[in-house]
Amino acid sequence: MVDTVRVSTTDGVATVVIDNPPVNALGADLRRDLMTALRDAEADASVQVIVLAAAGRTWPAGADIREFGQPPRDPWLPEVCSAVAACPKPVIVAMHGNALGGGLELALAAHVRLADPGTRLGLPEVTLGILPGAGGTQRLPRLIGARAALGMMTSGLPIPAERALELGLIDAVTEGEARLAAQRLAAAHIAGEASLPSAAERPDHRMDASDWLAAVTEARKGLGVSRLPAPPRIIDCVEAALLLPEEEGFAYERTAFEELVSTPEAAALRHAFLAERRAARHPELAATKPREIAEIGVIGGGLMGSGIATACLAAGYRVTMIERDDQALTAGLARVATNRDRAVAKGQLSVADRETEWSRMSGATAMSALAGADLVIEAAFEDEGVKTAIFAELDGVVKPGAVLATNTSYLDVNRIAAATSRPGDVIGLHFFSPAQVMKLLEVVVAERTSPDVTATAFALAKRLGKVAVRAGVCDGFIGNRVLTAYRTATDFLLEDGASPYQIDRAMVGWGFPLGPYQVLDMAGLDISWARRTRLAEHRDPSERYVAIGDRLCKLGRLGQKAGRGYYLYAEGARTGTEDPEVLEVIAAERTAKGIEPRRITEAEIQRRALAAMANEGARILEEKIAARPSDIDLVMLTGYGFPRWRGGPMQMADQVGLLELRDTLRDYAREEETFWRPAALWDELIKNGRKFADLNAD
């Protein structure tokens, strides 16, 4: 058994230091050790004040997320918090790093709270589909008022120590280390030189009941149509903190917590959290040192290239943009400048920093400007000939050891690498547009990519604040393959009797921010048309092919930018209206193929979409394009608008049940064998009583 707590007692002050790396999560061992340390300090007559601090990089960043969904182990966090609150000796907490979730609740139970200037304090439980269940919903509003507390708890966003002080959440922002300040305060208290704030002196916001109730009403109104169960329950708990006697309020919170923690939404959000951390773990790279990157070249100044340059610049790199001529370069640099001006306007960047930052940005029209680059990211036109020519030229220019990355979304990275004399240095970095905003980065590892180049890509992603997911080489990698399967399934439905509007409504109703045809209109129908045309010669003529999209393109209906696609757009409008002409095109296509339209329900649309995505995911796993099911989920959550609270297609397949979904696929396969045939992995998992989650080895 490892001790997760160290105690030292000097001159009447017992300092209890929590030491449970990496983030001091309040797991069962730590809770037990904390309880013992508290009881001992209480019983030790020489102890007058208890200081609670944490070793390492942070104050507890929360309950241990991996324990949720497991059988509970005593003592529970609420009990530990109650023991702190009831301690007859004053408890001073000294926070640093991230005081989050259960960690902040532990602090809320103490008598005095200090934090060093860099501390961030928050209750992010809502992002995990739960609520602060260790007294947070009861203690926080009392301390800082219902309105501010609801803001923190329903957004989940942390606040800096200075703001926490303004709100009355902490008693002081310390100069220097909070633990030393807490020990000094304790000693001064014992010496009679300082008095600690007593509970009786603290403001209790319950005194202003009408304001409290108004805040609760406002928060309820502000919920809108959110489908998540946690926010309304948080509001209920805050109401209960006012209306119920103290003990009943705590019990109410406990019940609400228990209810939420076992919902599928909470399970999915936990899965997403863990998937994000897991994606960065690749045991084969553990001992590999990434290459040093200081200077980055970006080839292309279009929407994608300028977005990538913006992200790299913001992360502190020196960036050189390459464009084919002065005019295109000026336009590309202007896009980067506009992106950074937006950051200034949003208060994310100071004017002075904006200026110094710009000194790291340069542009050129000759590749030779990249001679000193440590990494070059090519974001040129999506065409193999264009890309291989660029890589061949780069090969003659860049220094040995530079990493050469292509931002292709479909093309064969092996073939692009083969255009150089150094395929080991070549990798795919698939950014998503707008690249300065979107979290996802698919790291496409080609056959000959060196492990240290892959490690460099993961290190780069971390510095850019992106979620990197490893993918193998295939047409579309992970995300675009799953997306293609999703679109194929909905295109079949379109031909069989559904309208694009009905399909979009069904998928938005299911939780996507936009339906598949709204997305197509936004991106431009010509992009996928060009791809289909490229693939046409390899298409198996016996496979079902829906040509409705091609027909619309031929009519000039290229989407929002053309004022019409699947929808009709008024001048400058971003949401479209339904268009009978589109329905006519679809009807004509059905007639031409002899398809009698049938009635299709929203539930069927949703079920087919999920089945198609999960089945393609299973194929991707079989082909080892993705390392694990949770990587597929993560790609869909962070790059494709899959609702986070549903956890991703593989997590959903587990929730629905593998047997049921496999049988559904078999039924569909009777209509169209090639597309719907269940991947062999379904049978293999079912036979062994396993789920996709079992392949996520931590």
Give the residues lining the site for ligand TC6 (CB under 6 A).
Answer: 22-23, 25, 61-66, 77, 98, 100-102, 124-125, 128, 132-134, 257, 277
Judged by beta carbon, residue 315 or residue 527, the one nearer ligand TC6 is: 315
Residues in the chain: 698
| For ligand TC6, the closer CB: 134 or 336 | 134
DSSP label at 537? G
Whose Cβ is closer to ligand TC6: residue 78's or residue 515's? 78
Segment holding 167, helix H or strand E: helix 161-167
Q: Tokens 């694990």 correspond to what residue?
A: 628
- Report the C-alpha dihedral over residues 10, 11, 12, 15, rounded to 10 degrees: -30
260 vs 416, which CB is nearer to ligand TC6? 260
Q: Which residue of the set 42, 79, 105, 175 is catalytic?
A: 105
Show the tokens assigned to 25.
């999560």
**Residue 491 structure tokens:** 């295109």
**CA–CA distance, 95 with 170 (Å, rounded to integer):** 10
Nearest CA-CA partner of 536 in 525, 550, 523, 522: 550
Cβ pair 552, 494 in contact under 8 A:
no
3-state secondary structure of 556: coil
Residue among 67, 79, 125, 378 flagged as catalytic: 125
Closest CA relative to residue 634, chosen from 647, 616, 652: 647
CB of 622 to ligand TC6, least distance (A): 26
Burial class (CB in 10 A: 0-12, 13-18, 19+), 72: exposed
Cα–Cα distance, 351 to 223 (Å, whole number): 35
Q: Where are the beta strands (DSSP E) in 116-220?
A: 120-122, 159-160, 172-173
Write down the residue that tokens 């009807």 correspond to. Answer: 587
Q: How far is CA 575 from CA 75, 500, 515, 570, 695, in A?
A: 53, 14, 12, 9, 41
Q: Which is nearer to ligand TC6, 135 or 307 (CB)?
A: 135
Q: How far is the CB of 127 from ligand TC6 (least distance, A)?
A: 6
Residue 623 designated active-site: no
Calculate the CA dihedral of residues 468, 428, 473, 452 and round it to 10 degrees. -70
Element (H, E) at 404: strand 403-406
Phi and psi at 632, nearest 5°, equal: -65, -45
Measuring CA to CA, which residue among 440, 422, 323, 336 is closest to residue 381? 323
Burial class from Cβ neighbours inside 10 Å (0-12, 13-18, 19+) for residue 621 reads buried
**Residue with Cβ nearer ligand TC6 (125 or 412):** 125
CB of 508 to ligand TC6, least distance (A): 28
Please compute Rg for the chain using Cα positions.
28
CB nearer ligand TC6, residue 119 or residue 174: 119
**Non-local CB neighbours of 393 within 8 Å, separated by 6+ positions:** 367
As measured in angstroms, the least distance from the Cβ of 234 to ligand TC6 is: 12
Closest to ligand TC6 by CB, 128 or 485? 128
| 617 vs 628: CA distance, rounded Å | 10
Contact between 608 and 600 under an 8 Å Cβ cutoff? The reply is: no
Helix (H/G/I), strand (E/B), else coil: 10: strand
CB of 81 to ligand TC6, least distance (A): 9
Taking the CA of residue 655 as centre, how many other CA atoms within 13 Å lie in the half-sphere pointing to its CB?
A: 18
For β-strands 567-568 and 467-472, DSSP reports them as unpaired
- Cα–Cα dist 364/332, whole Å: 11
| Cα–Cα distance measured from residue 548 to residue 590, given in angstroms and rounded to the nearest whole number | 9
Q: How far is the CB of 54 from ligand TC6 (least distance, A)?
A: 12
- How far apart are CB 597 and ligand TC6 at their closest, in Å? 48
What CA–CA distances, in Å, run from 20 to 231, 304, 646?
30, 42, 31
CB of 57 to ligand TC6, least distance (A): 7
Least Å distance, CB 299 to ligand TC6, is 31
Nearer to ligand TC6, 28 or 522 (CB): 28
Q: Which is nearer to ligand TC6, 75 or 151 (CB)?
A: 75
Instruction: Confirm if 238 and 146 have CB atoms less than 8 A apart.
Output: yes
- Tell me which H or E stretch contains 209: helix 209-222
Q: What is the DSSP letter of 280?
A: T
SS3 for 399?
coil
Q: Which is nearer to ligand TC6, 182 or 269 (CB)?
A: 269
Please say which residue, 244 or 280, places its beta carbon nearer to ligand TC6.
280
Shortest distance in whole angstroms from residue 461 CB to ligand TC6: 12
Shortest Å distance, C-beta 288 to ligand TC6: 17
Q: Is 263 left (phi over 0), alpha (psi -120 to 50) or beta?
A: beta
Q: How far is the CB of 105 from ligand TC6 (least distance, A)?
A: 6
Tokens of 152: 């923190």
* Phi, psi for residue 395 in degrees, rounded to 5: -55, -35
Q: Active-site positions?
A: 105, 125
